[in-house]
Amino acid sequence: MATTENGPGALEPRPAPPKEQRFSLNAIQELEEIASHYPERKAACLPALWIAQREYGGYLTPAAIQEVADRLGMSYAEVEGVATFYTMYNLRPRGRHHLEVCTCLTCAVMGAYDVVHELERALGIEVGGTTRDGEFTLSEVECLDYCGAATVVQVGDRYFTHVTADNVLNLIEELRQSEEYTPVKLADAIVKLHLPGSSQTGGGSRTGEQIRNNELY
Amino acid sequence: MSQFRLTQTPPSLNPPSDRMVRVKINGIEVEVPNGENIIESAKRVGVDIPYFCYHPRLSRGEAANCRMCLVDVYMPRKNPDGTETLAKMPKPQTACTLPAAQGMVIETESEQVVRDRKGILEFLLINHPLDCPICDRGGECPLQNNTIFYGPPTSRYIEEKRHFPKAYPLSEYVVFDRERCIHCARCTRFADDISGDAQLAFLKRGADMEVGTFAQTAYRSKFSGNVIELCPVGALLSRTYRFKARPWDLHTQKSICSRCSNGCNVKFDYRLEQLLRVNARVNEEVNEEWTCDRGKFGHDYVSAPDRLKTPLLKRDGEFVPISWTEALDRIVEQLRQAGSNVGGIGGQRCTNEDNFVFQKLFREVLGSNHIDSRLGRYQGPVNRPLFERFGYHGMGNRIADLENMKTLFVFGSELVDEQPIIFLRVRKAWRFKGASVVNAVTRVEEETTKVADFAEVNLIYRPGTEMALLLALAHVILHEKLLPKNASTSALAQRVGDWTPARAAAETGVAAEDIVRAAHLLVNGPMAILVGRAITEHPEFEALVEVLGDLVVATGNQGNLNIPGTECNTQGAMDMGVLPDVGPGYRPIDPPGMNTHRMLEAAASGQLPVLWIVGAKLVENYHDADLARRALENCPFVIVNELRLTETARMADLVLPAASVAEKDGTYTSCERRVQRIHKAFDISPDIKPDWLIFTEVAAMLGGTPYFSPRDILRDIAATVPMYAGISFRSLGDAGIRWEYPAGDA
Ligand code: SF4
Ligand code: SF4
Ligand code: FES
Ligand code: FES
């Protein structure tokens, strides 16, 4: 190898990560079904990454990217390019519940930042952080297209509406009680969306009545 | 096995139509092919449209992202009353993606375009570090140039720019300065379109976007150096050239790469007798504008500190430096004693001029026909097996012809290592022209640039079973009647016997279906065969070539069987007659002299008093290394012309310091028989001599007529070798001349 003034160290290219095969039989069937919808296998890249995100426990490791690339006959770099382009693919582990608080215009007017600050205080983390126990990750996101029910917080495949600094702790409590691992659940819901017979994703929306009554789940 | 498969791209590189249309560019009317890219049309009329991401050899897939090439466009529009008016497109368009159409009017200097270009450059410079004083690209940088001519004089950006570590070592040869990248996607498209290893991609997005490899692994490509030249800024830099010089301090000399037989046209950039970098020169027929990494970075031997700078004589087992006068006296004394019983080996890496004088010294002055440039296993009559049957030695096709084949059969070759530029043509044929590739090799390496990534069928056979594989392919072709009735299949039919795919599958380890699939592709002509080292070094070489010959005859592809040479002047050494059985121009010699192997045997048994080895690494590379060693030990006087003290040179009695490709004038003949000129760049030491000068001095001392310059020698070559008639330094020009066999000779 030619030498550079940098010498060996953090800047040197890394060795190739080990390969894994974590797609279950069911996952492989799903992938083949989805791939069969397109003239080229690589067109199935996005759903394949969702399958991988589910199979690899909620985030895409280098091995997950390699597995997707190998299964679709794409180059590793190309799949990594796709995976890093879209923000909904997780490249690092997230908390068991990923709290995505909308701080776009309407929600901001309706006190979204109070919600964010309350969450930061209660969880002891900053936006972008994950709690030590791995339960919660907190993010700010742009408009979730549910402005009529501001402030909106998305957790996995579910929307929580009319969230305020006062009621957000209830939400936290409720999530703590639940058994779900929401990044995986979200990934699964999105995969299902690509399969025949399913037409919608999400944990369902509330009726107008529920919304008016400021009911959470 | 191959991990990924890029798709074939429809032929977007060429103008899509022969129909001509009239367009008007800045008021100048011009006829251009329908659909031609407007940047190219503008070049025709001398209008300069600035650009960064556009590149004529790369697909437009991800491109049109720099926005530098904006122009105003007007199209004729029919009014309801039948009259025509010119309608302006509401926004400027990117000329690099704009296909020429009848009546199109282009303005490149309108007030809006001028202002937009300034805006684009201001954006591009927002995050650009502008560290031109320490940038290798400074002085030859498209970003600098476009900014001077089209950019704003000042910047309004006062915020912090984005920062990255300055020199990320991307590959063995390339460092990457991400701060300077303008995201033109040339490097990523190169990896997809040309080299095909697809290891570079854009990661992340928006302001965070960067070029990278998967998981920060090293960029491993056999062609990584090209991205340095492609990058329109100083983001991709050569590890060996970085900080070595300012471009305006470099001297440049045109040359030909000395590292393989493909004959890439290159420029040697040097300063103070140091070769600092090798860049490609455009030759559409040969390397287009690419080089492989071996060529680009493998010339460090030229300026290596351990170059030999004086003749060395072995006294009591130790080398002592001696003067040239003494060295020549010694040689002459030994040669006089030996008479015609002397042997000469080598010359594949010397120029035609060196080789011509080499054989002339042996044949005409010393009276010996024991001279051979070949180091491979096959050392039989040179006219067998190809010339006698098809009328050529080596390659039947031009390198450029390969891209027009429908099917390419790569047989027993690590093509990318053995013939890098032929590899790129084969890939181009596949990627842009829809060719199918059949690849028969003994193993496929992981993670490198390789044919297996795009071959339609990979036949991975057990070493030694080449014949069975070949006969099974022929069997399928004949028994499934894949050829038209009038095909001349008789020769093939006699051979195939009962080599059914099933039987061959058991023998070769290749699946029978794959053999059948491959056979079906091979009849889809025009088809060309490229044969590699596994065949040329095969004990059954001649028999295999016979069958391959029958195959091209049967499928109607006469002249498409190619056995390219290995070294930069393998072909030229043969043309010049550095062979035991033929002289210059393949004139038969009777009686033939000893070939390399027999010379070594004679030397090993003490029967050859003088052996002269010219730039051949026998001990290192000869297939019977033990024989080579014994020969050098037992031969009383071994002379070696070398650049450095190789293992072979170490065993010599007299080592002569020879000039490298950068230190001499002359010509090489590439594997496709293209005679190309090398130009002397510099002298490293006054005591280093080009090989021809050494030979001519010895010849003169023994009573031969001396030559005074390579030009002088080439004149003699042109007069003696029929195929080189008319070739001179002047007539070769920059592109070289591919010689043809004189009519009626074949
Ligand atoms: S590194 Fe150079 S060639 Fe590659 S995208 Fe950036 S500017 Fe373009
Ligand atoms: S392909 Fe051959 S001639 Fe071209 S740069 Fe590489 S080694 Fe040199
Ligand atoms: S602004 Fe929050 S959902 Fe639209
Ligand atoms: S050259 Fe046209 S957009 Fe870059």
A1 pLDDT higher than 90: no
Q: Is residue A146 a part of any domain in this protein? A: yes
Peptide bond into B385 cis (omega under 30): yes
- Whichever domain contains A137, its CATH number is 3.40.30.10
Tell me: do B672 and B547 sit in the same domain: no
Distance (Å, whole) CA A189 – CA A51: 10
Task: Give the pLDDT confidence of A91-139 residue by residue, as tens digits.
Answer: 999 999 999 999 999 999 999 999 999 999 999 999 999 999 999 999 9
B215 pLDDT higher than 70: yes
Q: Is residue B154 a part of any domain in this protein? A: yes
Could you tell me the distance, in angstroms and rounded to a whole number, from the CA of residue B411 to the centre of ligand 2? Answer: 20
B446 pLDDT higher than 80: no
Give me the pLDDT at residue B1, please.
36
Neighbours of A38 (CB within 10 A): 11
Neighbours of B166 (CB within 10 A): 18
Give B177's contacts in chain A (Cβ within 8 Å): none
Mean pLDDT within B263-292: 96
Q: Is residue B274 a part of any domain in this protein? A: no
| Contact by Cβ (8 Å): B202, A77 | no
Tell me: do B129 and B232 sit in the same domain: yes
Task: Give the pLDDT confidence of B2-21 residue by residue, as tens digits.
Answer: 467 777 765 555 556 789 99
Mean pLDDT within A146-162: 93
Q: Is residue B340 a part of any domain in this protein? A: yes
Test B198 with A78 for CB contact under 8 angstroms. Answer: yes
Terminal C-alpha separation, chain A? 60
Q: Is residue A6 a part of any domain in this protein? A: no
Give me the pLDDT at residue A217, please.
43
Tell me: do A68 and A150 sit in the same domain: no
Tell me: do B603 and B723 sit in the same domain: yes
| Contact by Cβ (8 Å): A99, A119 | yes
Task: Give the pLDDT confidence of B41-94 residue by residue, as tens digits.
Answer: 999 999 999 999 999 999 876 578 999 999 999 999 999 999 999 999 999 999
Distance (Å, whole) CA B116 – CA A91: 38
Tell me: do A110 and A66 sit in the same domain: no
B696 pLDDT higher than 70: yes
Tell me: do B543 and B604 sit in the same domain: no
Tell me: do B98 and B157 sit in the same domain: no
| Residue of higher predicted confidence among B636 and B12 | B636
| Boundary (domain end) residue, out of B203, B238, B273 | B238
Report whether residue B656 contacts ligand 4, using a CB cutoff of 6 Å. no
Question: Binning pLDDT at 50, 70 and 90, where does residue A7 land?
Answer: very low
In terms of pTM, does the model score above 0.80? yes
B606 pLDDT higher than 90: yes
Q: Is the minimum CB–CB distance between A40 and chain B shorter than 8 Å? A: yes
Tell me: do A175 and A135 sit in the same domain: yes
Could you tell me the distance, in angstroms and rounded to a whole number, from the CA of residue B220 to the centre of ligand 1? Answer: 17
Task: Give the pLDDT confidence of A76-104 residue by residue, as tens digits.
Answer: 999 999 999 999 999 999 999 999 999 99
Pairing relationship of beta strands B436-441 and B407-411 according to DSSP bridges: parallel
Test B165 with A73 for CB contact under 8 angstroms. Answer: no
Q: Is residue A194 a part of any domain in this protein? A: no
The three-state secondary structure class of B436 is strand
Peptide bond into A151 cis (omega under 30): yes
Q: Is residue A189 a part of any domain in this protein? A: no
Give A17's contacts in chain B (Cβ within 8 Å): 215, 217
Its domain, for residue A102, covers 97-182+202-212
Tokens of B744: 């009626």
Tell me: do A127 and A206 sit in the same domain: yes
Task: Give the pLDDT confidence of B295-309 residue by residue, as tens digits.
Answer: 999 999 999 999 999
Instruction: Let me know how long chain A is.
Output: 217
Give me the pLDDT at residue B14, please.
52
A3 pLDDT higher than 50: no
Terminal C-alpha separation, chain B? 42
Tokens of B518: 């491959």
| Boundary (domain end) residue, out of A85, A107, A129 | A85
A10 pLDDT higher than 90: no
| CA B417 centroid distance within chain | 10
Q: Which of A4, A69, A79 sits opposite B169 (nearest CB)?
A: A4
Tell me: do B497 and B623 sit in the same domain: no
Tell me: do B138 and B99 sit in the same domain: no
Tell me: do A67 and A116 sit in the same domain: no
| Contact by Cβ (8 Å): B217, B168 | no
Tokens of B460: 């991975």
Tell me: do A174 and A115 sit in the same domain: yes
B214, B240, B293, B296, best to mutate vs chain A, most A CBs in 10 Å: B214
- Whichever domain contains B152, its CATH number is 3.30.70.20
Report whether residue B69 contacts ligand 4, using a CB cutoff of 6 Å. yes
Tell me: do A60 and A141 sit in the same domain: no
B interface residues, A as partner, C-beta within 8 Å: 3-7, 165, 167-173, 175, 191, 197-205, 212-219, 239-240, 242, 297, 447
Q: Which of A13, A40, A69 sits opposite B169 (nearest CB)?
A: A13
Choose which residue among B38, B55, B62, B66 to substitute to test ligand 4 binding: the one with the highest number of ligand atoms within 8 A of its C-beta: B66
Tell me: do B342 and B470 sit in the same domain: no
- Whichever domain contains B73, its CATH number is 3.10.20.740
Tell me: do A81 and A101 sit in the same domain: no
- Least Cα separation, residue A80 to chain B (angstroms): 6
- Least Cα separation, residue B593 to chain A (angstroms): 44
Give me the pLDDT at residue B385, please.
87
3-state secondary structure B605-673: CCCCCEEEEECCCHHHHCCCHHHHHHHHHHCCEEEEEECECCHHHHCCCEEEEECCHHHCCEEEECCCC
Tell me: do B185 and B141 sit in the same domain: yes
A202 pLDDT higher than 70: no
In the DSSP assignment, the letter for residue B118 is: H
- Whichever domain contains A37, its CATH number is 1.10.10
Beta strands (DSSP E) in B48-206 are: 70-78, 84-88, 93-94, 105-107, 168-169, 174-176, 201-203
Question: Looking at the 3D structure of chain A, how many domains does it have?
Answer: 2
Its domain, for residue B31, covers 20-109
Give me the pLDDT at residue A15, please.
87
Tell me: do A206 and A128 sit in the same domain: yes
- Whichever domain contains B474, its CATH number is 3.40.228.10
Question: Which residue, by CA, sits nearest to atom 8 of ligand 2?
Answer: B295
Tell me: do B129 and B221 sit in the same domain: yes
Mean pLDDT within B603-623: 97
- Least Cα separation, residue B672 to chain A (angstroms): 33
Amino acid at B640: V
| Boundary (domain end) residue, out of B543, B562, B581 | B562
Q: Is residue B319 a part of any domain in this protein? A: no
C-alpha distances (whole Å) from B37 to each of B41, B44, B60, B100, B334 are 6, 11, 11, 6, 67
Question: Which residue, by CA, sits nearest to atom 4 of ligand 1?
Answer: B187
Task: Count how many pairs of residues, chain A against chain B, have C-beta atoms within 8 Å.
Answer: 93
Tell me: do A79 and A38 sit in the same domain: yes
Query: What percentage of residues in chain A have a pLDDT greater than 90?
Result: 80
Q: Is residue A217 a part of any domain in this protein? A: no
Q: Which residues touch A167 (CB under 8 Å, ≥6 apart)?
A: A214, A216
Single out the residue of B710, B713, B190 nearest to residue B427, CA to CA.
B190
Report whether residue A146 contacts ligand 3, using a CB cutoff of 6 Å. yes
Test B172 with A2 for CB contact under 8 angstroms. Answer: yes
Give me the pLDDT at residue B12, please.
53
Give me the pLDDT at residue A210, please.
57
Question: Binning pLDDT at 50, 70 and 90, where does residue A205 land?
Answer: low
Q: Which residues touch A59 (CB under 8 Å, ≥6 apart)?
A: A53, A89, A90, A91, A92, A93, A94, A183
Mean pLDDT of chain B: 94
Tell me: do A114 and A81 sit in the same domain: no
Distance (Å, whole) CA B13 – CA B55: 10
- Whichever domain contains B659, its CATH number is 3.40.50.740
Distance (Å, whole) CA B420 – CA B416: 4
Task: Give the pLDDT confidence of B329-345 residue by residue, as tens digits.
Answer: 999 999 999 999 999 99
Q: Is residue B254 a part of any domain in this protein? A: no
Question: Looking at the 3D structure of chain B, how many domains does it have?
Answer: 4
| Boundary (domain end) residue, out of A58, A85, A112 | A85
A31 pLDDT higher than 70: yes
Tell me: do B575 and B699 sit in the same domain: yes
Mean pLDDT within A56-71: 96
A83-90 long-range contacts, CB within 8 A, separation 24+: A83/A49, A84/B203, A84/B204, A84/B205, A85/B202, A85/B203, A85/B204, A85/B205, A86/A46, A89/A49, A89/A53, A89/A59, A89/A60, A90/A53, A90/A58, A90/A59, A90/A60, A90/A183
Q: Is residue B13 a part of any domain in this protein? A: no
| Boundary (domain end) residue, out of B516, B537, B562 | B562
Distance (Å, whole) CA B529 – CA B521: 12
Q: For tokens 């995986």, name the residue.
A: A184
Give me the pLDDT at residue B94, please.
95
Tell me: do A107 and A165 sit in the same domain: yes
Test B240 with A17 for CB contact under 8 angstroms. Answer: no
Q: Is residue B352 a part of any domain in this protein? A: yes
Torsion sign (Cα): B705, B709, B712, B716: positive
Give me the pLDDT at residue B445, please.
77
Test A70 with B198 for CB contact under 8 angstroms. Answer: no
Please state which of the ranges B314-323, B418-427, B479-488 shows the lowest mean pLDDT: B479-488
Q: Is residue A14 a part of any domain in this protein? A: no
Tell me: do B535 and B444 sit in the same domain: yes
Report whether residue A115 contacts ligand 3, using a CB cutoff of 6 Å. no
In the DSSP assignment, the letter for residue B324 is: H
Q: Is residue B615 a part of any domain in this protein? A: yes
Task: Give the pLDDT confidence of B105-151 residue by residue, as tens digits.
Answer: 999 999 999 999 999 999 999 999 999 999 999 999 999 999 999 99
Choose which residue among B37, B48, B57, B67 to substitute to test ligand 4 binding: the one with the highest number of ligand atoms within 8 A of its C-beta: B67
Q: Is residue A38 a part of any domain in this protein? A: yes
